[in-house]
Amino acid sequence: MEAIKALHSTLLGAKRELDSGTKPKERPLRTLPPSLPPCPPEHILLPDSHVLAELPCTRYWHEEKRKDVNGLPAPGVPHWLRRFDWLVGWEHGWVQSGFFPRHVYCHPNAMTGLLSYLKDSFQERNPGSFLVIGGGDTPLSSQSRSTIRGLKKYFRDIYYEAFDRSVLGVKMMPIGLQEFYIRGFEKDLRSAVRAKPQKTRLALSSFGKFWPGLEKTIPDRTSAKEFAASSDFITCGPFAQPEYYEALATHHYMICPLGNGVQAPKIMEAFLFRCIPIMTDSLMARTYAHKGAPVLIVKNWSDLNQELLEKSLPILSDRANSFFDVASDPDKWWEFSFERSPTTDHFQSQRLDAQADEPRTHDH
């Protein structure tokens, strides 16, 4: 009997550990409601003349991280983030209290604080509200299931950027640009994106410039780098930023291995240059394909060869050219990301017809 009790206790402890996951480091109280102001101060907003006023940028730290890059300060909160009623988990965030928000953008390490505030402040949700969790690398698999269940009571849909696990009621948030990657090269990016690319080369591999250590900790990146270096049909970087944009514009495909937060901004960079991201098979990659993005998925990097790329090019190239209109238009990217039009009532259901065929079985 004692042995049975001990086994039961062990199993119960394992279940609790599984339910809680590896607890993410909580964001400071000053980044959470009710400490946040109702709106961002005018002086920390991105000017309308900035290129990120025209493009989706999902990652921005203002003065908390990368305060000075290339001798330049942070430019201001990007327009994409200012679309949300609430921005939670950053010092430059805001919370318009007094009414339940239509949409919230929350740092993945601020979910517990957000849930606590919602419990203290609201009895009911608005039926069409949705929560977007992004801007950080904490994977979905590390989040407490009880926290996710609690947030589901307040939001019709939850979108998560570091999407490494299938969870009922949680969908993938497609990643946008990382602000500090382009700081100092805004004019180069704008002119390169607006120019019609001349595709003369097959595949490009250029990653690890900002985070070279990840190649030692993420096997997918290690394998991608080794494979690209040994393949004569792949051009290898990294490049200085203006040359990188030129390389994107002249290649049909882009090697896009997993990032520290599952997705990597390189995916959006590829879309903006009508370049086709190549990914190894994952829930994230399959979700992009399911949503209609022009991606090529292989089981292993070693499965990639010149014949496959050339054979797939006619169809994927047409799709990449069409998808550019989505990636370069914040309104269309919003609709692609959240299955809602930003110009209509956010509380109306605008589900994709193919939603019933979502990849993989969900965990509960």
In tens, the pLDDT along 125-165 reads 778 899 999 999 999 999 999 999 999 999 999 999 999 99
Q: Report yes or no: 159 and 133 within 8 Å, Cβ to Cβ.
A: yes
108 pLDDT more than 80: yes
Residue 191, classed as helix, strand or coil, is helix
CATH number of the domain where residue 219 is located = 3.40.50.2000
Is 279 part of a structural domain of the chain? yes
Sequence-distant (6+) residues with CB within 8 A of 187 are: 51
Is 160 part of a structural domain of the chain? yes
Cα Rg, the chain, nearest whole Å? 21
Is 172 part of a structural domain of the chain? yes
Same domain, 65 and 198: no
pTM above 0.85, yes or no: yes
Same domain, 60 and 173: yes
Same domain, 58 and 172: yes
Domain boundary among 159, 177, 195: 177
Give the separation between CA 10 and CA 275, rounded to whole angstroms.
51
Domain boundary among 177, 200, 220: 177
Same domain, 191 and 320: yes
What are the pLDDT digits (tens) for 74-88? 999 999 999 999 999
Q: Report yes or no: 94 and 123 within 8 Å, Cβ to Cβ.
A: no
pLDDT at 211: 61
> Considering Cα of 298, then 304, then 305, then 309, what sign does the dihedral take?
positive
Number of structural domains the chain divides into: 2
11 pLDDT more than 90: no
Is 166 part of a structural domain of the chain? yes
Is 9 part of a structural domain of the chain? no
Domain that holds residue 41: 19-177
Residue 34: asked if its preceding bond is cis (omega within 30°), the reply is yes
